[in-house]
Chain A
């Protein structure tokens, strides 16, 4: 069986969803027709519909510890949209998982196919808690991080040596930061960028503070925001 979840937002911007159960042979038309009917019956606005199926793995019996999880990054088509996933797997099995992810069936969230050009363009790292950027051969690859690691997003493999990354001495050359943000806009869903502009600004301010300069330097930030807006 499947579930169809219909999500609404009301006049106070509160969200609520309602869920119905679908048979294994459900028709997509049924899901979308019900969406139209519910839209008519509600004074709130329908924002999204999700159809999903949960597959439990029986008898999950966790061993003592996950140990060091392995992080995998695979370039996507166009080499501007990176794929990033944190799989809590053991290094010995990383190649099997990589092989599956690189089979041509998997994509990034925006739908770009994952395409590892060669072994060197795939990155595996075991230290994701203290972010240590993977060494990617492609200089333009941007690694897409989970939201909680957004603060680390500005660090790419381009032009920063490992020592600089390790000790957090991020040079804020305007050109470099501009390049990174533009790459992000091209590679990541624009809505994600917009929803996190505050985080970007805060990050840039933090970097300034780390460099001993307490002012937020809006004259540095504004051109970056302008660059983003140009691309929208």
Chain B
């Protein structure tokens, strides 16, 4: 079981026409090129397409993927609605990451994630220390602390959330 890189970068261009209809089209670039070079190449083609289109190019997305190379066998009882929610601080702001189908063994009786366990601790260390500066909030500010970790449900109401969901 391993993540295998896709052979290409995918560049998806988005257009809008005068009726408000949207369309996308994709082009590909061989792996082995640095991301910044892919962006430059995509930017070049985007410029041409924007000039060439009677509609308007609204933007483009460059993506690189890794695909699991073996048949996946999730726990039959697992449900992605059960999230392991981790709230990080970044300067004065907060950002969150949800782990779909959090493993039940990682959740304490009161709904908090057990931060004493290696699994949760490893995620915290990885995002804050091992790769410091790589993970940011949506403004690009580096994460600096894990301020809360608890189980949540994607369709929960406030009343049904686990009891211990305040910052600890």
Report whether B59 and A55 are in contact in the complex, using a CB–CB cutoff of 8 Å.
yes
Chain B interface (Cβ < 8 Å from any Cβ of A): 3, 7-8, 10, 15-21, 23, 25-31, 33, 35, 39, 41-46, 48-68, 72-81, 84, 95, 97-104, 106, 119-120, 122-123, 126-127, 130-131, 133-138, 140, 142, 154
- In residues 73-93 of chain A, which contact B (Cβ within 8 Å)? 85-90, 92-93
A143 → B minimal CB distance (Å): 14
Q: Which partner residue on chain A sits nearest B37 by CB separation? A: A105
Interface contacts (Cβ under 8 Å), in number, total 273
Report whether B100 and A22 are in contact in the complex, using a CB–CB cutoff of 8 Å.
no
Report whether B29 and A105 are in contact in the complex, using a CB–CB cutoff of 8 Å.
yes
Report whether B63 and A88 are in contact in the complex, using a CB–CB cutoff of 8 Å.
no
Which residues of the partner chain A approach B102 to less than 8 Å between Cβ atoms?
A: 41-43
Q: What does DSSP make chain B's interface, helix, strand, loop or mixed?
A: mixed
A9 → B minimal CB distance (Å): 6
**Chain A CB within 10 Å, residue with most, of B16, B27, B103:** B27
* Interface size classification for chain A: 35 or more
Q: Mark A197-225, 1 if CB is under 8 A from B, else 0.
A: 00000000000000000000000000000
Stretch at the interface among A32-40, A133-141, A152-160, A165-173: A32-40
Extra A-B contacts (15), CB below 8 Å, given A23-B142, A53-B35, A66-B17: A8-B100, A16-B80, A20-B97, A37-B126, A43-B104, A44-B78, A48-B65, A50-B63, A53-B39, A53-B62, A57-B59, A85-B25, A88-B23, A89-B52, A100-B48
